[in-house]
């Protein structure tokens, strides 16, 4: 491949199938379907903060070979902070595609006056880390994928830890919706979710999560109310949660969303009890693997996952250029 034969253009909604294939090929650990990516783009475009999003497609003789994207982070928003990615699957890598995409991306961010850019790569991809280092990026955090082989998980060994304290009951979001109505259930779920996520380790200050934005999050193809386990008081307050969501590309895999407990209710084993309920559900569904992700600074959750039998995979290294 030569640079003269490579063309770059802004991606359109018609390119979603090709974009999903490229993104999944470049990061097979976390594949994405056209439906899921379309939903994520829709959430960005419809966000009340007016988030920026742009994606490009690289083509060789009319065939998609790579993509680059940049966006404002909804969960950690600053108008001059951007997330950026260059994604080239192995068959097309090291042929100049990534360099051309990066140059286009850098020019776009420079024109927008970006003061901070976040990106990253896995620790077993030294070429990608070097690609970022050469462009002035340095490490900020590490995130571990932790994977549980359900064939190795024995729910009966956790009978005592599976029990919630008196005054609390474990229900799924689907069950809570049936009991109190959709609006009341989502409002109670949001109150807990919004508080718990504020304490999740990240490289910037968390943006408050409004109920409006939260409702939009529940409309995607990965919304699985039966897999959202909640600890609820007699008064109807949600005080802890553990989320499972389907993996669109692998029906035998479930991914973990947020797990945690509201501040006033911590150190009572609620998160562990709900996580165990989620894993029992996964076992009943015949799931092969459950994946979860944790920052290297989240020592309590890393220790909990290790106790449960989750095994760490190579870390994703978040890197930063500049700062706000």
Contact 278, 227 (CB under 8 A): yes
CATH for 3-114 is 3.40.630.30
- State the pLDDT at residue 4: 53
| Residue ranges covered by each domain of the chain | 3-114, 146-314
Helix (H, G, I), strand (E, B) or coil at 299: helix
For residue 1, what pLDDT band results from cuts at 50, 70 and 90? very low
Helix, strand, coil percentages, rounded to 5, for the chain: 40, 30, 30
End-to-end CA distance of the chain: 39
Which tokens is 309 given?
């039998």
- Percent of the chain exceeding pLDDT 90 equals 91
φ/ψ bin of 180: left (φ > 0), alpha (ψ from -120 to 50), beta (otherwise): alpha
- CATH (one of 3.40.50.300, 3.20.20.410, 3.40.630.30, 3.30.500.10) for 146-314: 3.40.630.30
Render pLDDT for 17-39 as a digit per residue (tens, 0 to 9): 999 999 999 999 999 999 999 99
Contact 294, 144 (CB under 8 A): yes
- State the pLDDT at residue 2: 47
Separation CA 192–CA 136 (nearest Å):
38
Asked if pLDDT for residue 300 goes beyond 50, the answer is yes
Contact 137, 105 (CB under 8 A): no
In 85-244, where does DSSP find H-type helix?
97-111, 126-133, 173-180, 182-197, 211-217
Separation CA 47–CA 294 (nearest Å):
26
Q: Model pTM?
A: 0.93
Give the DSSP per-residue string, 30-69. Answer: S---HHHHHHHHHHHHT-TT---EEEEEEEETTEEEEEEE
Average pLDDT value for the chain:
95
Helix (H, G, I), strand (E, B) or coil at 268: coil
Quote the DSSP letter at residue 165: P
């Amino acid at each position: 491949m030569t640079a003269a034969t490579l063309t770059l253009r802004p991606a359109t909604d018609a390119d979603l199938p090709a974009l999903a294939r490229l993104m999944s090929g470049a990061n097979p650990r976390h594949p994405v379907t056209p439906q899921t990516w379309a939903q994520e783009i829709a959430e960005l475009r419809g966000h009340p903060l007016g988030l920026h999003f742009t994606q490009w497609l690289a083509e060789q003789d009319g065939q998609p070979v790579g993509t680059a994207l940049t966006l404002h982070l909804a969960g950690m928003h600053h108008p001059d902070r951007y997330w950026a990615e260059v994604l080239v699957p192995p068959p097309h890598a090291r042929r100049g595609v990534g360099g051309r995409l990066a140059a286009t991306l850098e020019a776009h961010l420079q024109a927008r006056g970006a003061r901070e850019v976040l990106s990253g790569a896995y620790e077993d991809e030294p070429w990608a880390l070097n690609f970022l280092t050469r462009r002035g990026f340095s490490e900020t955090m590490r995130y571990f994928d932790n994977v549980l082989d359900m064939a190795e998980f024995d729910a009966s060994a956790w009978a005592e830890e599976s029990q919630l304290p008196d005054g609390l009951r474990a229900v799924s979001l689907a069950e809570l919706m049936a009991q109190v109505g959709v609006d009341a259930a989502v409002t109670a779920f949001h109150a807990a979710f919004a508080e718990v996520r504020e304490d999740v380790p990240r490289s910037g200050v968390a943006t408050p999560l409004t109920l409006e934005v939260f409702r939009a999050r529940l409309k995607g193809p990965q919304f699985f109310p039966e897999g959202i386990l909640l600890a609820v008081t007699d008064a109807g307050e949600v005080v802890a949660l553990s989320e499972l969501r389907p993996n669109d590309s692998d029906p035998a895999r479930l991914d973990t969303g947020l797990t945690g407990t509201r501040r006033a209710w911590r150190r009572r084993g609620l998160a562990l009890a709900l996580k165990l309920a989620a894993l029992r559900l996964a076992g009943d569904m015949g799931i092969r693997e459950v994946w979860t992700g944790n920052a290297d600074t989240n020592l309590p959750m890393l220790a909990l996952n290790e106790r449960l039998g989750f095994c760490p995979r190579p870390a994703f290294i978040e890197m930063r250029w500049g700062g706000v």
